[in-house]
Structures are given as C-alpha cells and as structure tokens.
Structure 1
Amino acid sequence: MVFFYILEHTMVPIFLLVLIGFYLDKKFSLDVKTLSKLLFYLIIPSFVFTNLYKTDFPATSAIIISCIFFLMFIGFLVATFISKMRHYDACMLESCRNALMFNNSGNLGVALVILVFSHDPFVVNGQTPYLAEAMVVQILIFVIQNITLNTIGLYQAGRGRLSARDTLGVVFRMPIIYVFTAALVARFSGWDATQFFFWPIMEMSGAALLPVAMISIGIQLHRTTIKWLDHEVWLTSIVKLMLFPFLGLATIYAANLIIPGSFSPVASIVFLIYCSVPVAVNTAMYAIEFNNCPEYATQVVMNTTALSAFTMTFFIFLGHLLFI
C-alpha cells in the first residue's frame, strides 16, 4: 500500500510536472533563465521566510542540526573522493558535491512525512498525534537544507565556472541571506509578520516552489541529450540512495549513544526519510543558471527521483522495524 501510495501521490504528480515543462518547451521554446530568476529572487526566499518564521523548533534542534551538517560534510568528502578516483574537472566536482550534500527534503520529504505519520501504526483512534512532532522536525531539516543549499550550494555551483571572488559576489547578490536574517529578526523581535501586507504574496509565492522548479527541470530535459547509461550519473545515484541512508542510521544511533534522547522514534524516522530522499531539484537549477554541467546535474536529479520510489519504500519499512 505504501509503495503504490508513494507512486500515485508523490512520484506521478512530480513527473507529470516535468512532462508539462518538457512539452511546453517543445511547443513554445520557453526561457528557462527567466524561470530560474523567478525561483531565486521570489519563490525560494518567500518559502524560506514563511517557514522559518512560523515553525517552533524542538529542544533537541541543536543536535539534529549538528547531525545534518555532519552528513553534509560526509557528502562533501565522498564527492571529493569520487572526483579524485574518476578524474573529474572542477565543473563535475562541484556538481557532484551538490548532488551528495543536498536532498529533496522540501518536496518529497514533506509528502513522505505526512504519508507515513497519517497511517498505521501512527494513527490512534482515528487521530494522528505524532504528525505534528514529525512535521516540526521535517521543517527544521528543510530550513537548514534550504539555507545551506542557497548559500553553500549556490557557491559551489558558481565555483565550477567562476572564480571564488566572483562566486561570492553572486551569492551576496542573492536575496536568501538577507531573507534569512529578516525572518530571524521578525521572529525574535515579536513583530507579527503575518500582518505585513507582503505576507500573502510570500505565502502564495512559496507555494509555487514545486511546480515552477519541476517545470524548469522539464524544460532543461528537453534541451539535454539523455544518456541513460551514463556511468557517472549512476555512480552518484547509487551512492546517494544506498550509502547515505545507512550513514543516516549510524548517525542516529551514535547521537543517541552520546546524548540519550537526541532522536525520539518519530524524529529518527523523519531523519531517515531525509537521508533517503533524492537529490534536491535546485541543484539542477543552479547548474542551469551557471552552466555548470547542467546535463549531468539534471540527469542525476531525475535518475535519483525515479529510483527513489523503490529505495525510499525500503528504508521507510526499515525505519518501522527499527524504531517502532
């Protein structure tokens, strides 16, 4: 049931959006650069601000954040190792780093958490008492991933083609850093940002993240020569979908061993889901924006998204066995 539910309610809609983008570009030759600018300067900042402002994070947030950064660092090291073994150039190195460091925790992650904690054994008397805790942890993961993706990931994508100075200049021209600061100031100053006239615009813009991002991927796919047997794409996909969930499990057990209670059973399953979801869609968008191996980045996103329908189901089942 879970397997087919994931396919029907998560994978099919996402791939339909990709197909829509593919068809629209074939029919009208759309400008993918314009869509990427819309994402970077309006949609992503709106999503980050509204989520960061509204979410009340758990007491163990610092530990969970440390574990997220730890796995990102491992992704950085693994990508560097693969690059040396496969003799990647700077473009491929940075694209591989982004692929292994950043996950699709916003789109697939949220959908999976809602799915898992809205069904047995997490349903009690027709209610979903564990869903709120799960969503708080999921939003925490998403916020950290989104901030780092839109700073570190953006830097790495630009670094493949630009100098360090030029890349930093691009990063600081992006609004995400200032939006993050503004959300923290609004949150801790006591100002009610929901009464600000721009709040409805940010909510509506943030809700457009998934469709605009996936349609943009579809446009890029239409312009990309797909190599289904590309060894580099498959190597990155296998490492991402099989190695990192097990690293996530090891991180959960290590954290609970060092500081008991770091991960509750609910938080453990949410963290495992985070480790098992595919590559973040925005890594391909950044590759398109900076012309940083866009074909490789796009194919890794699509490959891991397709394969994750099978791998995620396995790790969700494993999480039930280990933590319930």
Structure 2
Amino acid sequence: MDLAPGALVGPLLMLLSYVGLGWLAAQRLKLDPRPIATLLVYLIAPFTIFRALMNGGPTPDYLLLTLALFILASLMALVVQRITRHRFGEQEAALLAFSSGTGNTGYFGLPIALILLPPEGVTLYLFCMLGINIYEFTVGFYLSARGRFSVRESLIKISRLPLIYAFLFALLLSALEITIPAAAMNSLAVFPATYTLLGMMIIGMTLSQVTLSAWDTRFVAACLGLRYLMWPLVMLVAVLILQWVTPLSSELALALLLIGVVPMAANVVVVAMELGIQPQKGALAVLVTTLLAPLLIPLYLGLMLHLTGLG
C-alpha cells in the first residue's frame, strides 16, 4: 500500500490548478461565483449523486454505511454548533458547525481512494462519501441557514434542495429494479467531473475577492482543529471499535480512515456563497487545510494503519 507523499502529488496539483483557474477567471473575466454556487447546489450535485447511486447498485449493507456516516456527521455538527455558538459570531459559528460534519471526500479524497483501494474498497468509500454529501445538503445546510435565516425559512430552503429528491428517486428506482438506459447513464458521466471542476474553481473565485481583513486566525485554527484533530481521532476510534465488535475488512477500514483525514470540504464555500455567510473566511480555511493535506495525510494514515494493525 503506497502512502508516500509522491502518490498525492497528482491529485493535489490537479485541485490547486482548478483553484488557480477559478482565481484567474474571476480576476480577468470578472465572473461572479454566486450563480455557479447555485448551479452546483441545485443542478450539478443532484445529478452527480443520482448517477453514483445508480452505478453503485445500493444494497442494504452499502446504505447502512451511508446512514452511519450521515448520523455521525450530523451528530458532530450539532455538538460543534452547541460549543461554538456562544464563542464565535452567529455566521462564523454556523459555518464551523457545517464544516465540522463534512470534508473534501469527493474532490480530494476520491482520487486518493482510487490510488489506495481496490474496486470493492472504492465502492465502500463512495457510499461512505454519500452519507457525508447527504448531510451537507440536509442537516448541514439547515445549520448554515440558521446562521442567517429563521427556522421556517431554513426548512423551506432545505425542502427546495433537489439533491434530497434525487437520492429518494434513485432508491425508488433501485427498489423497483428499474435500470436507467446505458445511453442516459453515459450522458450523466459529465456531471462528476463538472462538480469537481466548478467546486474547486469557486474557492479560487472567492479568494480573488478576499482582503486581508477576511483573515481570522481564531476561525482558521478552529477549522484546522476540527478537520485534522477531531475527525482523525473519531474515525480511528470508530475503526478500533468496529474491529473489536465484528470482523472488519481492510478495505472498509482504510475507506473510513481516509474519510477522517481529507481536508475541509470545498462545499463549505459553495454553501457559504449560496447563503451569504462569510464565504471569504470559508475559502481561506479550505485553502489552508488543502495545502496541508499532502503533508498530513500520509503521516496520519501511516500512524492510523499501524494503530489498527493494518500497516
């Protein structure tokens, strides 16, 4: 199993080039990232999740993984919201709560999963990732919206998110054993790549508007602690408990550990942009955690694999 830093150079350079492309587009073409954030939330993300579900063939075991990660992410976000709401500004606390339940499992984590895991392990990783994505656009979106909107307004915004209906529709088709024609599935293949490209470009577009006043050391430090201290510890404990309770495959163990060490989610910026809650601060925190990822991921995974007996 190759955990050398060199194995991460390709994914990192790809992601950073997308961020740079977004910065350049905003600087030279004067593009507004807000319509792109709306496009991601209401169109590209639902089609991406729908295609992943239909390709993966959801089974009860796979969906149990999705449910478990969704519950874990939601609980972590609720705990962080309770802890931070009296220590940070209302919008900063909402953004911290959202980011604490998610990570860059798709844009950054998936390329690494493809390097480290066999096909079965990648499938397990994808259904874990799906639980995180569903959290982002349900509980996470609600907690973020509460930083600016009332309970009623927040619930209305969630009810309008098509990703929820795309998920339920995919489950219905699977339960009825209805398959999507190959031509239609092939036409959906463009959405995952578009999701990755635009999601990372939004970070660069937002950074192009950042001023020095947007830097918040306390906020960035909190984001680093949540992403690179809390999540690795929680996932390490989860794997150790699962190993103690039941036989756990090395593929699933590594998939879970990888979920715990990816940088902050680019969707932090997408949701902050859509809701108008401190997107510049979110973009800076995402950039810092992404730059640290190639140094920390090999170190963390090596240590965690040793502690779980998989190294």
The normalised TM-score by structure 2 is: 0.90
Q: Distance in 2 between matches of 1:199 and 1:56?
A: 13
Partner of 2:173: 186
Q: Which of 228-237 and 92-101 deviates more?
A: 228-237
- 1:102-181 to structure 2, matched below 5 A, reads 102-117=102-117, 131-181=118-168
Q: Which of 153-162 and 43-52 deviates more?
A: 153-162
Partner of 2:191: 205
> Given the superposition, is the C-alpha separation of residues 323 and 38 from structure 1 closer, same or farther in structure 2, using an over 3 Å criterion?
same
> Given the superposition, is the C-alpha separation of residues 80 and 304 from structure 1 closer, same or farther in structure 2, using an over 3 Å criterion?
farther
> Given the superposition, is the C-alpha separation of residues 174 and 229 from structure 1 closer, same or farther in structure 2, using an over 3 Å criterion?
closer
Q: Kindly report the root-mean-square deviation, in angstroms, between the aligned alpha carbons of the 2 structures.
A: 2.1
The 8 Å contact of residues 57 and 136 in structure 1, kept in 2 or not, is answered as no
2:247 maps to 1:246: no
> Given the superposition, is the C-alpha separation of residues 67 and 200 from structure 1 closer, same or farther in structure 2, using an over 3 Å criterion?
closer
Partner of 1:31: 32
Corresponding residue to 2:209 among 207, 223, 240: 223
Unaligned residue ranges in structure 2 (runs of 5+): none
The 8 Å contact of residues 147 and 277 in structure 2, kept in 1 or not, is answered as yes
Partner of 2:89: 89
Unaligned residue ranges in structure 1 (runs of 5+): 118-130
Structure 1 residue 3: Cα displacement: 0.3
The 8 Å contact of residues 100 and 236 in structure 1, kept in 2 or not, is answered as yes
**SS state at 1:193 partner:** coil
Q: Distance in 1 between matches of 2:141 and 2:107?
A: 19
Q: Distance in 1 between matches of 2:186 and 2:62?
A: 28
The 8 Å contact of residues 67 and 131 in structure 2, kept in 1 or not, is answered as no
Partner of 1:272: 257
1:92-144 CA distance string (max 9 Å, x none): 11100111111111122211111123xxxxxxxxxxxxx02211111111111
Partner of 2:287: 302
Q: Distance in 2 between matches of 1:193 and 1:89?
A: 47
Percent identity for Structure 1 against Structure 2 = 19
Q: Which of 64-73 and 203-212 deviates more?
A: 64-73
Q: Distance in 1 between matches of 2:280 and 2:139?
A: 21
2:273 maps to 1:288: yes
- 1:54-65 to structure 2, matched below 5 A, reads 54-56=55-57, 60-61=61-62, 64-65=65-66
The 8 Å contact of residues 48 and 192 in structure 2, kept in 1 or not, is answered as yes
Structure 1 residue 272: Cα displacement: 0.5
The 8 Å contact of residues 66 and 129 in structure 2, kept in 1 or not, is answered as no
2:60 maps to 1:73: no
Give the total of aligned pairs.
Answer: 305
Q: Distance in 2 between matches of 1:71 and 1:172?
A: 20
The normalised TM-score by structure 1 is: 0.87
1:61-89 CA distance string (max 9 Å, x none): 466446422354134313432443xx212
Q: Distance in 2 between matches of 1:189 and 1:67?
A: 24
